Chains A and B, each alone.
Chain A
Amino acid sequence: MTRPISRRAALAGFGLAAASAGCLGRTENIAGRDPHSQLTLEINTTPADDDPNGIRIARQLEEHLTAVGIDVRLNTVGQTDLWRKVLINQNFDIYVGQFVETEPFDPDALYGLTHSKFIAESGWQNPFGLTEIAVDDLLDRQRRVAGDERADAVDALQETLCDRQPFSVVAFPDALTAVRRNRFEGWTEGRQPLSVTGLLELDAVAPDDGSGGDTDSGDGGSGTDGNATTGNVTTGNAMTGDTGDADDGDGADTDDGGGDVLRLVTTDDRITENWNPIAAEYRKYGTFTGLLYDPLVRADGESVVPWLAADWERVDDDAVDVSLRDARWHDGEPVTASDVAFTYEFLRDTSLGNVETPVPTPRFRGRSSLVEDERVLDDATVRLTVPDVNETAVSRALQAPILPEHVWSERTDAATIAGFEFDFETTEAVVSNNPDPVGSGPLRFVEATAGESVVFERNPDHFLGRPASDDAEAAEETTDPRGGIPSRYHGKPAFDRLRIEVLPSDISAVESVAEGLADATASNLGPASVPRIGRSDDARLVSGRSAAFYHVGYNVRRSPLSNPRFRAVIARLIDKSAVVEDAFNGYAKAATSPLAASADAVPESLTWTGETDPVHPFFDDGGSLDVAAARAELRDIGYRFDDEGRLLSRGQ
């Protein structure tokens, strides 16, 4: 039935005769060759309970790959396991997943994702194993030049990446959220409980029961309101942002949905057991750890605002001076310039030299690697060595979370299990769950039950809640503790507590909001759960564009995925329009470029216009896969099939 086996049977039968006939050499020449076998590829993705969309993309790809003669293994693994497999162990063929930034991001994000200098590292830096000089050059160029020149470099970069196709962008999902009415307002397209800025921008709904009179009186008012009103009426103390210590009152004890508790539900339980901002396999967008840890600078839409840094300026061709705001860690210690210096050194090598080869951070690597050295000038000023790159690249380098030296310097030893050191080439810092996280951010950790829930509370000492003294505000801006921060963040967050509860599926998450047990959903919603939102008068659907594009990632270290032409054929097996229509029910936008959500970044050549991909169009035959065309294309680029139509490859 198959050629190799029948040939082998024949060889066995004729072996003796052949040997005696004196043509042993020829037989050896034939038998010594390895037979071809069918190509096997494994697709990894998360199960429907974890993410209702990714598995549907994987299923379509599985169906189409099978149709062209590839043996496909469709494997579902939990979210942590998927990233462990892909990012840490790099032991995968193909995966389907989402990018890690939900807010539109700068093109420089591709630097970490695809630069070949990160080839030997594990984490979000070049998980595909791409080594393309043309890509590297353009990545470096878009950091060096500015203005139109940079725009050109970014265009060329996208075209080159699209051509090499280390991953296939499938679609940008709409960020769908079920939201409870009358609890918090400001849930709009760009303000969802998915990103740090989205959560910080929320406002509490003003109470409609007449207790609004003591809105401005601060903690006293909120305390009595919170105790007197239960259920869904919110107290209005956080409206003006002038009640810095509002959580003295109701915040501490009301965990049951009253008062200013923002209650989110999610299917992702990782935040209930791990709060390590650099643990790649435990973070989705890093939203909640982003609220625990402040960066020096925060992206705010298309601009950047000084955050933990009061200001920064380039003082030299290779130096940037950063001055810090007056801030404290959640444990009361002051945030100093040496914490900043420590953080950047630590992100470069989390072992600080304790392990033979450096162990760089698995997250924030692309941006933080720009900082080459750091020097503490005084308690509140640090000089960072940053090569001569454009302002955008500098500000991205400043967007890594600042970690307290007194906590993380204890975690620089090689990771051990029960005191034994194994050759894992990693440090305690990378594998730590970071229990009782100590950050400096607007939220601080309260308590958690692994797999069930986690509670954060507002950090009353945070500079967002610290009003400027009246004279100073008028007189001199530099004394304003919130200088440079847009006023919509002043006094935020608008809740005293943030409670995140884990539920088994998107459907139960939506039900929970509809029944008033939660204020909003924070994880992906599938098409089956969306119609349920409309059935409750008190819940509504908020939909916005997310930048966390779904993509099919290839391990280009492995043959035949190492062949860009082969990857291009796989890209053409993905019917992106059908995915958007069927899997996402229209709540997504098909795309070619990873920058499709970033403003004005996509060149015309990569703009998705009609029904199909401008570069790698689907092998379309009236809505289904044109198998013959796909096979012809594979033959054209040098692949072969056996007589049963199976795609052959050398033993993998």
Chain B
Amino acid sequence: MTPFLSVLASVVAWVGTMLAVASVAIVGPARLREAWSGLRARLWDARRAVAVLCAVLLASAIGRSSLQSVSELFGLQATALIYGLEGGFVAWVQATFALPALTAYFSWVYVYGYAFLLAFPVVAYLALPRTATLRRVLVAYALNYAIGLALYTAVFAYGPRNVMPDMVTPLLFTNQPDVMLLATEVNVNTNVFPSLHTSLSVTVGTFAVLTREEYPLWTPVAVPLSLSVVVATMYLGIHWLTDVVAGFALAFGSVALAYRLVDPRSDAAEPSGDADGECPGSGTGADD
């Protein structure tokens, strides 16, 4: 389909450009060159984390539609619950802050900024001599997706734009209907709890804070950007505040768990394939 492909192409173009610029500015040419030469060894070193993430993504791609049916039939019907809990908070956000410029910004952030935010850490942490952070990020992504998918199945709820169309304008889809085609390719309108946009962005933001000594320039970019994505999910009428809160919890939980699961000691030496992989449960929370 033409509109779908055009929107996909523009996402690829935006993210590609931003990645190139950010790699040079934040990682630096020297590190990039070094990373390039050691790329294979580092990937090999992180193979388990890569495999876990790929497995989760694959399972999500294959199983999503059938899990969706399961959710529809047996999931907790939570729309009324969430709406009863927070009422018109999202409507209030829109009514208070909606401006054409902000709408344009948040629409951009929700689609392009978010994609960039997820992609850049992979590049940046691949450029680090030690792969512990890279592996942790990949494992944290995998945990986000896996737990998110489980919660999507367990909870069946529609977002605020579907419940309060009189008060919440679906700003993103009204302004960029093509994006909706992309959005429905990746997501279903009943997958709102928790907000994976929030949890993945906050995951990246948390890692940016934890690795601020490695990439001092990345932290001030990543944190505002990830918080923008968080606000965008509500501003655009896609997620409830409840989803966002759950997204934060999922993010922090995933980061903590990733630190528990990934053993930093295994790559104490330079990555040359000697690493023994991770031993789950050992070596908690040691900072880089």
> Is A74's CB under 8 angstroms from B181's CB?
no
> Is B166's CB under 8 angstroms from A582's CB?
yes
Residue of A nearest to B161 (CB): A48
**B116 at interface by CB-CB < 8 Å:** no
B interface: dominant SS:
helix
**B77 at interface by CB-CB < 8 Å:** yes
Residue from the list B72, B178, B180 in contact with A78, Cβ < 8 A? B72
Residue of B nearest to A583 (CB): B166
> Is A59's CB under 8 angstroms from B3's CB?
no
Most buried by A among B161, B165, B166, B190: B165
> Is A76's CB under 8 angstroms from B72's CB?
no
Chain A residues with CB under 8 A of B170: 48, 505, 507
State how many angstroms separate the Cβ of A86 from the closest Cβ of chain B: 14
Most buried by B among A47, A52, A55, A517: A47
In the bound assembly, the distance between CA atoms of A507 and B166 in angstroms comes to 15
In the A-B complex, the 9 residue pairs with the closest CB atoms: A47-B162, A73-B80, A48-B165, A75-B80, A504-B184, A47-B158, A48-B162, A76-B158, A511-B177
In the bound assembly, the distance between CA atoms of A76 and B83 in angstroms comes to 10
In the bound assembly, the distance between CA atoms of A75 and B75 in angstroms comes to 14
**A311 at interface by CB-CB < 8 Å:** no
In the bound assembly, the distance between CA atoms of A48 and B162 in angstroms comes to 4
Most buried by B among A49, A507, A515, A526: A49
**B174 at interface by CB-CB < 8 Å:** yes
Mask, B184-220, CB within 8 Å of A = 1, is 1000011000000000000000000000000000000
**B107 at interface by CB-CB < 8 Å:** no
Chain A residues with CB under 8 A of B166: 56, 59, 582-583
Chain B residues with CB under 8 A of A52: 165
> Is B177's CB under 8 angstroms from A59's CB?
no
**B79 at interface by CB-CB < 8 Å:** yes
Chain B residues with CB under 8 A of A507: 170, 173-174, 177, 180
In the bound assembly, the distance between CA atoms of A81 and B174 in angstroms comes to 27
> Is B165's CB under 8 angstroms from A76's CB?
no
**A19 at interface by CB-CB < 8 Å:** no
**A232 at interface by CB-CB < 8 Å:** no
In the bound assembly, the distance between CA atoms of A73 and B177 in angstroms comes to 31
Query: How many residue pairs between the two chains, A and B, have CB atoms under 8 Å in the bound complex?
Result: 76
Most buried by A among B1, B3, B77, B190: B77
Residue of A nearest to B190 (CB): A78
State how many angstroms separate the Cβ of B184 from the closest Cβ of chain A: 4
In the bound assembly, the distance between CA atoms of A136 and B65 in angstroms comes to 45
How many of chain A's residues have a CB under 8 angstroms from any CB in B?
Answer: 28
**B84 at interface by CB-CB < 8 Å:** yes
Mask, B65-103, CB within 8 Å of A = 1, is 100000010000101110110000000000000000000
State how many angstroms separate the Cβ of A268 from the closest Cβ of chain B: 14
In the bound assembly, the distance between CA atoms of A576 and B184 in angstroms comes to 34
State how many angstroms separate the Cβ of B32 from the closest Cβ of chain A: 40
State how many angstroms separate the Cβ of B243 from the closest Cβ of chain A: 15
The 18 sampled A-B contact pairs (Cβ below 8 Å) are A47-B158, A48-B163, A48-B170, A49-B158, A55-B165, A59-B166, A74-B79, A74-B83, A75-B80, A76-B162, A76-B163, A78-B72, A451-B65, A504-B180, A505-B170, A505-B177, A505-B180, A511-B178
Residue from the list B3, B164, B165, B181 in contact with A526, Cβ < 8 A? B165
Residue from the list A47, A55, A73, A451 in contact with B84, Cβ < 8 A? A73
In the bound assembly, the distance between CA atoms of A52 and B164 in angstroms comes to 10
Chain A residues with CB under 8 A of B72: 78, 81
**B37 at interface by CB-CB < 8 Å:** no
**A23 at interface by CB-CB < 8 Å:** no
Residue from the list A47, A59, A74, A505 in contact with B80, Cβ < 8 A? A74
State how many angstroms separate the Cβ of B75 from the closest Cβ of chain A: 11
State how many angstroms separate the Cβ of B68 from the closest Cβ of chain A: 10
Mask, B1-45, CB within 8 Å of A = 1, is 111000000000000000000000000000000000000000000
Mask, A31-67, CB within 8 Å of B = 1, is 0000000000010000111001001100100000000
Residue of B nearest to A42 (CB): B80
B-contacting residues, A478-528, CB 8 Å: 503-505, 507-508, 511, 515, 517, 526, 528
**A637 at interface by CB-CB < 8 Å:** no
Chain B residues with CB under 8 A of A78: 72, 190
Chain B residues with CB under 8 A of A49: 158, 162, 189
State how many angstroms separate the Cβ of A34 from the closest Cβ of chain B: 24
> Is B163's CB under 8 angstroms from A55's CB?
yes
Residue of B nearest to A451 (CB): B65
Chain A residues with CB under 8 A of B2: 517
Chain A residues with CB under 8 A of B178: 511
In the bound assembly, the distance between CA atoms of A56 and B165 in angstroms comes to 7
**A77 at interface by CB-CB < 8 Å:** yes
Chain A residues with CB under 8 A of B165: 48, 52, 55-56, 59, 526
Most buried by A among B162, B169, B177, B183: B177
State how many angstroms separate the Cβ of A119 from the closest Cβ of chain B: 27
Chain A residues with CB under 8 A of B169: 528
State how many angstroms separate the Cβ of A339 from the closest Cβ of chain B: 34
Known: A52-B165, A74-B163. A505 touches B77 (CB 8 A): no
Known: A48-B163, A77-B79, A528-B174. 7 other contacts (CB 8 A): A49-B158, A49-B162, A73-B80, A74-B84, A505-B170, A508-B181, A511-B177
Chain B residues with CB under 8 A of A59: 163-166
> Is A505's CB under 8 angstroms from B164's CB?
no
In the bound assembly, the distance between CA atoms of A163 and B270 in angstroms comes to 84
Residue of A nearest to B73 (CB): A81
In the bound assembly, the distance between CA atoms of A640 and B226 in angstroms comes to 51
In the bound assembly, the distance between CA atoms of A78 and B189 in angstroms comes to 10
Chain B residues with CB under 8 A of A582: 166
Residue of A nearest to B81 (CB): A73
Known: A78-B72, A583-B166. A508 touches B180 (CB 8 A): yes
Most buried by A among B1, B79, B178: B79
> Is B189's CB under 8 angstroms from A504's CB?
yes
In the bound assembly, the distance between CA atoms of A76 and B192 in angstroms comes to 13
Chain A residues with CB under 8 A of B81: 73
Most buried by B among A76, A515, A517, A583: A76
In the bound assembly, the distance between CA atoms of A178 and B82 in angstroms comes to 35
A-contacting residues, B127-181, CB 8 Å: 158, 161-166, 169-170, 173-174, 177-178, 180-181
> Is A505's CB under 8 angstroms from B163's CB?
no
In the bound assembly, the distance between CA atoms of A77 and B163 in angstroms comes to 10
In the bound assembly, the distance between CA atoms of A451 and B64 in angstroms comes to 13
In the bound assembly, the distance between CA atoms of A468 and B121 in angstroms comes to 73
Residue of A nearest to B2 (CB): A517
In the bound assembly, the distance between CA atoms of A242 and B173 in angstroms comes to 45
Chain A residues with CB under 8 A of B158: 47, 49, 76
In the bound assembly, the distance between CA atoms of A81 and B1 in angstroms comes to 30
Chain B residues with CB under 8 A of A528: 169, 174
In the bound assembly, the distance between CA atoms of A508 and B183 in angstroms comes to 12
Chain B residues with CB under 8 A of A56: 165-166
In the bound assembly, the distance between CA atoms of A48 and B160 in angstroms comes to 10
Chain B residues with CB under 8 A of A47: 158, 162-163, 189
Chain B residues with CB under 8 A of A503: 181
Chain A residues with CB under 8 A of B181: 503-504, 508
> Is A77's CB under 8 angstroms from B189's CB?
no
In the bound assembly, the distance between CA atoms of A507 and B158 in angstroms comes to 18
In the bound assembly, the distance between CA atoms of A627 and B155 in angstroms comes to 35
In the bound assembly, the distance between CA atoms of A48 and B170 in angstroms comes to 10
In the bound assembly, the distance between CA atoms of A167 and B280 in angstroms comes to 60
Residue of B nearest to A515 (CB): B3
Residue of A nearest to B237 (CB): A48
State how many angstroms separate the Cβ of A598 from the closest Cβ of chain B: 30
In the bound assembly, the distance between CA atoms of A52 and B170 in angstroms comes to 12
Chain B residues with CB under 8 A of A73: 80-81, 84
Residue of B nearest to A53 (CB): B165
In the bound assembly, the distance between CA atoms of A503 and B184 in angstroms comes to 9
In the bound assembly, the distance between CA atoms of A503 and B165 in angstroms comes to 18
Residue from the list A75, A515, A526 in contact with B77, Cβ < 8 A? A75
Chain B residues with CB under 8 A of A583: 166
